[in-house]
Structure formats: C-alpha cells, structure tokens
Amino acid sequence: MSPESFKRKLTVILSADVTGYSRLMGENEAETVRTLTAYRKIMGELIQKHSGRVVDSVGDNMLAEFASVVDAVQCSVAVQNELRARNAKLPENRRMDFRIGVNLGDVIEEENRIYGDGVNIAARVEGLAERGGICISGTAFDQVEGKLVQEFEYLGEQRVKNIKKPLRVYRVKVECGVSDVVENREFPLPAMPSIAVLPFTNMSGDPSQEYFSDGITEEIITWLSKVPRLFVIARHSAFVFKGKAVSIREVGQQLGVRYVLEGSVRKSEDRIRVTAQLIDVKTDQHVWADRYDRGLGGIFEIQDEITMSIIIALQVELMEGDQARLRARGAYNLEAYLKVLQGMDYLNELSKESNTLARQKYLEAVALAPEYASAYVGIAWTYITEPWHGWSDSPSESLKLAMQYAQRGLALDESLSDAHAALGLVHLVMRQWDKAVEECELAVYLNPNSADNIVTLAMVLRTVGRVEEALALLNKAVRLNPMPPDRYLHEFGSCYRLMGRHDEAIAVLKRVLDGNPDYLNSRLNLITTYVMAGREDAARLEAEEVLRQKPDFSVERFLKDFPYKDQKILDGLKECLLRAGLR
C-alpha cells in the first residue's frame, strides 16, 4: 500500500490490557478465559455507551477509539469502577485488573484498523498505569482539564520505549468507595489553595444572637465558594466543629485543608466587633489577621474585606467573571439582611415548623428590600423542601411557587447558583429532564465548591440514567463535605444499586439507617437492593419496619412522583417492593 493511499486522522485512542495475565492463565486457564470474555463484553458495552468503538481485541488487550477525550476518560473511569465491583465478588487470586492508557494523536486508518505513533503512545502510557488504574498523555489532558470532576496527578515527563521525546503523563484518580472517602480522616491536600471556615464564636453573651455569628460564617463560606481557584469545605462539615475544643492542626487533617479561618463576633446594640485570623495548618502560623470595629451597618463591608483579604493572602488569581460574582452581593438593607440570616438558621434545622418560620423571615426580608435576590431564593427552597419531606398538602402548588420565587431571584441576579439548583429540581419533578440537567450544571459552574449543588446535579444525572457521572460527582461532593449528611449517602446507595453494586449499596444504606432509622426513603432503597441481591428474607424484615413506621404505606403512592426517565427502573422498583410484601 503506497503512502499516498494512507488515510490519516486525529483520534482518541484507549488501550487496555490485563495486569498479570500470564500468572492467571498459568493458574487456571479456563477460568481466566471465562472471566476475560465476560469483562471484554462489559468493556465493549461501556465503550459503545460512551460513543466509542472497539478497534481490536487480541489476547488480553483491547483497543478502542473515540471522537472525544472527555468520552474516553469517562469511559475509562466507568470501566475501572465496574470491574472493581465485579472483582470484589471473586477470590483475590482470581481477580482480573486492567490498566488503561488514553492518548489523543495522529493515526493511520486502514479498513477500520488504526496504526501509528498515536496508538503506540497510548500503549506506552497504559504501561505506566498502576493495577486497576488509568493514565493519560499530555495531549489528552490538555483537552479535559477543567471539564471533568475527576482529579489528575501529574507524573512528569516520562521516557518510554520507541518514542523519541519524553511524554507528559497524568494519572486519573479513579473513584474509591464512599466508606474510603468518609472514614478516611487524613486527605491529601488539593492542588489549589484549600480552606475551611470554622463557625465564628458568638461573644455577645446572648444565645439568641447565635444566628448572627453563624450567618456571618455562612456568608463568608458562600462568597469564597464562588472562586473556582479555591477549594472550600462545605458548611455542614465546618459546623461539625462548632463549640468543640479541637486544634487547628486536627481540623486541617480531618477536613484535608491547608488553611483554616477562625474568628469571633460581638454584637451589642448598634455596634459590632469582628475578629478573624487565617492560619496555615502546616506551620501553625498566622497568614493574616484583623479586627473590625464598626457600626452594625458595616457588616457588609466587613464580610467583603475578610473575603478579599483571604483571596489576596492565598494569592488566588481572580478572573473577570469571578470578580463580577463577588460584587453581586444583593441588597444592603441591614434589617432585611438580619431577617435572611434568621431564615437561613431556621432552614438549616430541617423540620416542618422551622421551615415555616424560615419562609416567614424571608418574606419579611423581601417586604423590606424588594430587590434582595437571595431572599426570594430562600423562599423558593422552603417550598421545595415541603414536598421533599412530605410536609405539603399540595406538592404541585409548592413546586409552582418554588419556581416562581426562584425565577424572581434570578431576574434580580442571574448568578445565584442556588436559584438555578432550585429550578433544576423543579424541572426534574416535572420530568423536564434536559432543563433539569442544564440548570443544575449551571449551578455547579457558578459555585464549583457547593457540595450541596453538586449532589443535586448528581441526583438529576442519576435519574436520567447517567449513573457513572453521578457517582463521580458524589465523590467530589464528599471531598468538599467530608462529614456528609445522610442524603449524600442515600445518593451513593441509589447509584450503587443502579450499577448492580449491591453489597456496597447495602453497606452505605445500613449506615444511614443506623444513625437515622426514620429515613424512609433509605429503608425502601435498602429493601429494593436486598431483593435485587437475592436476599428477600432481609427485605421482608425491612418491609415490616416500614409498615410499623407508616401503616398506610402504598407502593403506588410512593413511586408516583419518582421522576426516573427510564420507565423500566420504576417497574423494577415496584416489583421489588411488592416481592418484599409491601402493597
């Protein structure tokens, strides 16, 4: 074949092969072939699902190509996660692990086969991956940087066989189990500056002013979270340390951050004193500290100054869009602001009564300051929370009002990430799946450190069938919120169930119920997983507990508002619940 007849193209190559294949064949040839055949089928299905095609499959090697590096990397992660779950059911000496390499390069195509340096580099990069791991070339990394939830570790320039120039190589950090993330209290530090804002101490001598110091803390967390080049621990995990005598070093280790901000607030009549200090956990030295004595109306400027001082101290570069989001603080009406802080405090209590009180405070805030966008969003969340927890007599009316208030907030400030997340949930319940994904993706883009919004996006993606992406997002969320609320763990259980990882789903759902036995959705999730895993006796015991807690439980009523895009999933849930003895 003459060079003129070559067809060249730029493509994404995925190369995979089995680690220790010769040993496996030597120990049990028939079992190895059987496992390899099953695993190839799984990999082929996942490659097709991620818009790729299998080019070749010889021996223990598989070669595939994609038009998109993003698709190839997401497929690689899905493959490793699925095979890890399958391997967990095999004896350790029979487990089959693949290494995967991904490269973007020029290739020669002949009769649907591909050749050339692009393929060779993918194979060499694969050889640098660890067992069950993924490595990608520098050309591939340049295309996915900032586009995926996975983290990447730069391995430097690597010299490999038969390739003249050293290659930039990156390791993809493959998803680990939720128990590894939640129970491991010493995390590696993120590549970007990382910070936890501890609850500011209320020095007023008046417990009724606790909402004020907590509100200031939450506001600082919110504004720092809007900066993409900062890693900010979520409120829930930071507030675990409220009132506890722990060292800054211990906080840094448990939350996996380099810096900790702590402070105090003293409010008396129309005066306020705020102290704040930013501490480097590694050296235990103050990076920055200041004290502010102002009239109460100066609280807005104090929060702005603290936020900007931290950004400057950590040498974080602000882009034009970041600056615009930080400037968009909303209303500067002091009385309305105090109402919103009280509303936030009530909303965080998560009870029917406190939800009503939160709405009342938010409504009082917008009456005082009709231009206060965040107050409208707070009202929207009180309406979303009602049907979610079964507190609404008319869920459809609650969702209608949630949409109206979220849209009013966005009309005043379109950068409010929580408003977009609220709209995403409303669209999801209305089965407007594309709009739900769009709004929730925008929410995460506008506030990349919001663990809650990341979990909301994960829930939406899980519901529309993008389960591998949802699981990757959940792992990102628990890194931002290392002491996660039960709803995060419930989402892990749902994803594991849908992926057929029943043992992991059962473990995490039992963990939820151990701490919160009244979490009905998690118990029903556990029942369906038990049935799917062939453990119907265990499912029936859990079903008895459901009927004890809720004697009038109805399967039809429970599933009526589940917005799964795939009707087969709903049919499967119904069948499992009925087999467990529920009606």
Domains of the chain and CATH, by start: 3-174 (3.30.70.1230), 180-327 (3.40.50.10610), 485-583 (1.25.40.10)
The mean of the pLDDT values for the chain is: 89
For residue 260, the 8-state DSSP code is E
Report the run of H or E that residue 352 belongs to, with start and end.
Answer: helix 352-368
According to the model, what pLDDT value does residue 435 have?
97
Whether 139 and 125 have beta carbons less than 8 Å apart is answered as no
For residue 2, the 8-state DSSP code is -
Predicted confidence (pLDDT) per residue in 167-180, tens digit: 999 999 775 555 54
Question: CA 240 from chain center: how many Å?
Answer: 20
Q: Which residues contact 412 (CB under 8 A, 6 or more apart)?
A: 330, 371, 372, 373, 376
Residues of the chain above pLDDT 90, percent: 64
Whether 172 and 148 have beta carbons less than 8 Å apart is answered as no
For residue 67, the 8-state DSSP code is S
Q: In whole angstroms, how far apart are CA 295 and each of 203, 265, 270, 298, 301? A: 16, 13, 6, 5, 11
pTM over 0.85: no
According to the model, what pLDDT value does residue 327 have?
47
In one-letter notation, the amino acid at residue 155 is: L
For residues 212 and 299, what is the distance between their CA atoms, to the nearest angstrom? 11
* Other beta carbons within 10 Å of 38: 12
The answer, yes or no, to whether residue 181 has pLDDT greater than 80, is: no
Predicted confidence (pLDDT) per residue in 211-225, tens digit: 999 989 998 998 898
At residue 369, φ and ψ (nearest 5 deg) are -140, 85
pLDDT grade, residue 560 (50/70/90)? confident
Predicted confidence (pLDDT) per residue in 463-516, tens digit: 999 998 999 899 889 999 998 989 999 999 999 999 988 988 998 999 899 888
The answer, yes or no, to whether residue 580 has pLDDT greater than 70, is: yes
Between 89-93, 131-135, 136-140, 437-441, the lowest mean confidence (pLDDT) is in 89-93
- The mean per-residue pLDDT over the stretch 365-372 comes to 94
Q: Which residues contact 35 (CB under 8 A, 6 or more apart)?
A: 24, 90, 94, 96
- Largest alpha-carbon pair distance within the chain? 89
For residues 205 and 295, what is the distance between their CA atoms, to the nearest angstrom? 19
Torsion of the alpha carbons at 199, 204, 209 and 215, rounded to the nearest 10: -30
For residues 204 and 13, what is the distance between their CA atoms, to the nearest angstrom? 63
The answer, yes or no, to whether residue 291 has pLDDT greater than 90, is: yes
Q: Helix (H, G, I), strand (E, B), or coil: what is residue 24?
A: helix
